[in-house]
C-alpha cells in the first residue's frame, strides 16, 4: 500500500485531537493529501458503536466492550483505512490497536492473547507505519478534559488507578515496539509538541516531506 497510517495514542486529554489538527494543516500546506479519522467512530456503523460504548449509561460487560471495539475496527479497516492507503493517502488516526491493549488489556485486565487475536482479526494484520504516543500524566490529562466543561464519558469516569494502568500499558508498549511507537512529551505547550511531532515525521517520512 502506498499511503501511510500514522496513529496518535495516549490517555484522555493528552492532546491527540489538537495535534492531529495541527499536523493535518501542516501536511496540507506541503501539498500532501491527508485523511483524518478516529476509533471508535471512523465509519457510519462505527458512530453507532461509539455512542453505545461511550454515551450509554447502561452497564456494558467487559467482553462486550472488547468485541464492540473490535467490530468498530474491522469496519474501519475495510471501509476506510485500506482503501485510503491504497489510494496513497496519509491517514492521521486517533487511536488504533494499542488503545485496546492499553484500555481493555492493562486497564480492565482482560486476557492479552485474546486481545491480540481480536486485533489481528479486526485489522487483517494492518499495522500503523508510525504511532505517536503523547505522554502526559493522567491527572493533567483529566484536568484538561474537566476544564473543557464537557461531561466526562463512561471511560473517563473510571478511577485514577484504571487510568494509571492504561498509562503503564502505553509505556510498556513503547518500550516493546521502539521503531513503531515514538514517545512525545505531551505536557509541553501545544506549539512545542507540534514542533517535536513535525521533526519526528520528517525523520520517519524522509524523502516524502
**136, 12 Cβ separation under 8 angstroms:** no
CA 200 and chain centroid, separation: 17
Contacts of 121 (CB under 8 A, 6+ apart): 70, 74
Q: Does 14 bind ligand Z5A (CB under 6 A)?
A: yes
Largest CA distance in the chain: 50
Q: Residue from 5, 6, 7, 15 that binds ligand Z5A (CB under 6 A)?
A: 15
Q: x/- string (CB under 6 A) for ligand Z5A, residues 154-173?
A: -xx-----------------
Using rule CB under 6 A, residue 56 touches ligand Z5A: no
* Shortest CB 95 distance to ligand Z5A, Å: 4
48 near ligand Z5A, rule: CB under 6 A: no
Q: Is 147 exposed, middle or buried (0-12, 13-18, 19+ CB in 10 A)?
A: exposed
Cα–Cα distances in angstroms (integers) from residue 123 to residues 29, 69, 120, 127, 168, in the given order: 31, 12, 5, 8, 24
Q: Which of 4, 7, 35, 40 binds ligand Z5A (CB under 6 A)?
A: 40
Q: Does 13 bind ligand Z5A (CB under 6 A)?
A: yes
Instruction: List the one residue out of 164, 163, 161 whose CA is nearest residue 153.
Output: 163
* Shortest Å, Cβ 69 to ligand Z5A: 4
Q: How far is the CB of 18 from ligand Z5A (least distance, A)?
A: 3
Does residue 94 belong to the site contacting ligand Z5A (CB under 6 A)?
Answer: yes
Residues 16, 141: contact at Cβ < 8 Å?
no
With contacts defined by CB under 6 A, how many residues of the chain interact with ligand Z5A?
Answer: 28
Residue written as grid cell 492479552: 112
In the shown chain, the binding pattern of residues 110 to 149 toward ligand Z5A, with x for contact by CB under 6 A and - for none, equals ----------------------------------xx-xx-
- Please, which of residues 185-204 interact with ligand Z5A by CB under 6 A? 189-190, 193
Is 131 in contact with 96 (CB distance < 8 Å)? yes
At a CB cut-off of 8 Å and minimum separation 6, what does 83 contact? none
For ligand Z5A, the binding residue among 90, 103, 106, 170 (CB under 6 A) is 103
Residues binding ligand Z5A (CB under 6 A): 10, 12-18, 39-40, 54, 69, 94-95, 99-100, 103-104, 144-145, 147-148, 153, 155-156, 189-190, 193
Amino acid at each position: 500500500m502506498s499511503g501511510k497510517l500514522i496513529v496518535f495514542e495516549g490517555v484522555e486529554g493528552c492532546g491527540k485531537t489538537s495535534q492531529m489538527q495541527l499536523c493535518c494543516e501542516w501536511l496540507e500546506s506541503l501539498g500532501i493529501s491527508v485523511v483524518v479519522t478516529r476509533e471508535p467512530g471512523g465509519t457510519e456503523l462505527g458512530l453507532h458503536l461509539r455512542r453505545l460504548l461511550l454515551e450509554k449509561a447502561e452497564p456494558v460487560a467487559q467482553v462486550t466492550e472488547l468485541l464492540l471495539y473490535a467490530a468498530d475496527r474491522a469496519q474501519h479497516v475495510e471501509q476506510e483505512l485500506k482503501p485510503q492507503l491504497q489510494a496513497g493517502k496519509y491517514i492521521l488516526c486517533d487511536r488504533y490497536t494499542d488503545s485496546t491493549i492499553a484500555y481493555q488489556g492493562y486497564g480492565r485486565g482482560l486476557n492479552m492473547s485474546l486481545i491480540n487475536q481480536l486485533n489481528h482479526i479486526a485489522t487483517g494484520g494492518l499495522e500503523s507505519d508510525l504511532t505517536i504516543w503523547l505522554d502526559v500524566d493522567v491527572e493533567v490529562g483529566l484536568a484538561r478534559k474537566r476544564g473543557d466543561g464537557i461531561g466526562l464519558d463512561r471511560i473517563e469516569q473510571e478511577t485514577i488507578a484504571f487510568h494509571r494502568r492504561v498509562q503503564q500499558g502505553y509505556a510498556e508498549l513503547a518500550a516493546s515496539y521502539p521503531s513503531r511507537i515514538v514517545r512525545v512529551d505531551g505536557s509541553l505547550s501545544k506549539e512545542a509538541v507540534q514542533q517535536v511531532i513535525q521533526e519526528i515525521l520528517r525523520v520517519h517520512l524522509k524523502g516524502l516531506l
